[in-house]
């Protein structure tokens, strides 16, 4: 049974209680990370079960609810939001002992015209793609994170920042699902940071760093669309670049209020 709902991975199928999909450039890291999570008894992630005779990665299927599109009404629940933050914290804590393994990471040269990347000392391999489609809920509580394709060396600030884009959300209200249009993103960002246990130093830099990174992500998305095509090109054609631009404008207008909500 083909699995839809994500944006990017083509050829993902459910076979019984497994999910099978193509190996990608980040698979070695992802599979090592999933093996590590299994070895430390972390249940909130799929198990990596090996590669099948068609060369597809085999992961365990995690039963539960996912907030696909259209978004379910519960997407705006604060209890759900808090549970996502707690799950993310426990994932990141479970990844600490894995360290930053000596696995070659995909290095793409920066596309032309992009503002230079800022580098932070990375603490652990973070998930870095905590979209509503990538969280499995059970009994109203976030139970597992799936889709580790973007996992990479991370800081806690980067991990929370990425999740807030989707879960606060940090976007122009015109770009939000209608169930998230009228929520208070300042309050929700604060609730998330508190439930995650983000420290004061990380809170101080998060919003300014996001504003900076928004510019980079516009360039990176355009580059991926050109270079990789497929789902990336589809998203670009559907206007994801404009959504990112409007997020930047929203941050210009509301970033200070957001930063204050995180620290005060």
Ligand X SMILES: Nc1ncnc2c1ncn2[C@@H]1O[C@H](COP(=O)(O)OP(=O)(O)O)[C@@H](O)[C@H]1O
Residues lying near ligand X in the complex (CB under 6 A) are found at 3, 5-9, 12, 19, 46, 59, 61-62, 66, 133-134, 136, 146-147, 149
Shortest distance (Å) from residue 33 CB to Mg ion: 16
**Site for Mg ion contains 6 (CB under 5 A):** yes
Q: 140 is in the binding site of which of Mg ion, ligand X, none (Cβ under 5 to 8 A by kind)?
A: none
Tell me the Ramachandran region of residue 64: left when phi exceeds 0, alpha when psi lies from -120 to 50, beta otherwise: left
**Site for Mg ion contains 83 (CB under 5 A):** no
Q: CA nearest 44: which of 79, 9, 95?
A: 95
Q: 5 is in the binding site of which of Mg ion, ligand X, none (Cβ under 5 to 8 A by kind)?
A: ligand X
Q: 19 is in the binding site of which of Mg ion, ligand X, none (Cβ under 5 to 8 A by kind)?
A: ligand X
Measured from the CB atom, the residue of 92 and 133 that comes closer to Mg ion is 133
Cα distance between residue 218 and residue 124, in whole Å: 25
Q: CA nearest 175: which of 73, 259, 72, 249?
A: 249
**Site for Mg ion contains 134 (CB under 5 A):** yes
Choices 30-38, 64-72, 126-134, 250-258; region in contact with Mg ion by CB under 5 A: 126-134
Q: 149 is in the binding site of which of ligand X, Mg ion, none (Cβ under 5 to 8 A by kind)?
A: ligand X
Q: Interaction with Mg ion in 138-167: which residues (CB under 5 A)?
A: 147
Check if the beta carbon of residue 185 is closer than 8 Å to that of residue 223: no
Measured from the CB atom, the residue of 145 and 261 that comes closer to ligand X is 145
Exposure string over 41-54, b if 16+ CB within 10 A, otherwise e: ebebbbbbbeeeee
Shortest distance (Å) from residue 175 CB to Mg ion: 19
Residue nearest to ligand X (CB): 6
Shortest distance (Å) from residue 30 CB to Mg ion: 13
Shortest distance (Å) from residue 37 CB to ligand X: 13
User: Residue 124 in 3-state DSSP?
Assistant: strand
Shortest distance (Å) from residue 68 CB to ligand X: 6
Cα distance between residue 184 and residue 176, in whole Å: 12
Tell me the Ramachandran region of residue 122: left when phi exceeds 0, alpha when psi lies from -120 to 50, beta otherwise: beta
The count of residues interacting with Mg ion (CB under 5 A) is: 4
Check if the beta carbon of residue 40 is closer than 8 Å to that of residue 97: yes
Cα distance between residue 67 and residue 73, in whole Å: 9
Check if the beta carbon of residue 87 is closer than 8 Å to that of residue 44: yes
Strand 48-51 vs strand 57-60: parallel, antiparallel, or unpaired? antiparallel
Shortest distance (Å) from residue 113 CB to Mg ion: 28
Name the residues that contact Mg ion, by CB under 5 A.
Answer: 6, 133-134, 147
């Amino acid at each position: 049974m083909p699995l839809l709902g994500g944006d990017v991975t083509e050829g993902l199928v459910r076979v019984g209680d497994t999910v099978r999909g193509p190996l990608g450039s980040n698979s070695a890291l992802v599979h090592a990370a999933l093996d590590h999570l299994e070895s430390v008894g972390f249940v909130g992630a799929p198990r990596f079960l090996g590669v099948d005779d068609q060369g597809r990665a085999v992961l365990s299927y995690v039963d539960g609810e996912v907030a696909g599109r259209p978004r379910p009404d519960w997407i705006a629940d604060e209890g759900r939001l808090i549970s996502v933050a707690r799950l993310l914290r426990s994932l990141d804590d479970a990844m600490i002992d894995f360290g930053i393994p000596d696995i070659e990471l995909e290095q793409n040269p920066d596309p032309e015209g992009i503002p230079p990347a800022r580098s932070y000392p990375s603490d652990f391999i973070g998930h870095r793609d905590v979209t509503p489609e990538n969280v499995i809920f059970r009994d109203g509580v976030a139970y597992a994170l799936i889709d580790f394709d973007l996992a990479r060396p991370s800081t806690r600030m980067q991990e929370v920042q990425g999740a807030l884009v989707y879960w606060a959300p940090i976007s122009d209200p015109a770009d939000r699902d209608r169930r998230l249009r009228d929520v208070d993103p300042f309050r929700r960002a604060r609730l998330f940071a508190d439930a995650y246990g983000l420290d004061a130093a990380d809170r101080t830099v998060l919003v300014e760093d996001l504003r900076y990174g928004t510019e980079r992500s516009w360039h990176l998305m355009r580059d991926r669309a050109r270079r990789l095509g497929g789902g990336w090109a589809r998203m670009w054609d559907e206007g994801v670049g404009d959504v990112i631009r409007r997020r930047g404008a929203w941050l210009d207008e509301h970033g200070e209020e957001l930063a204050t909500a995180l620290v005060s």
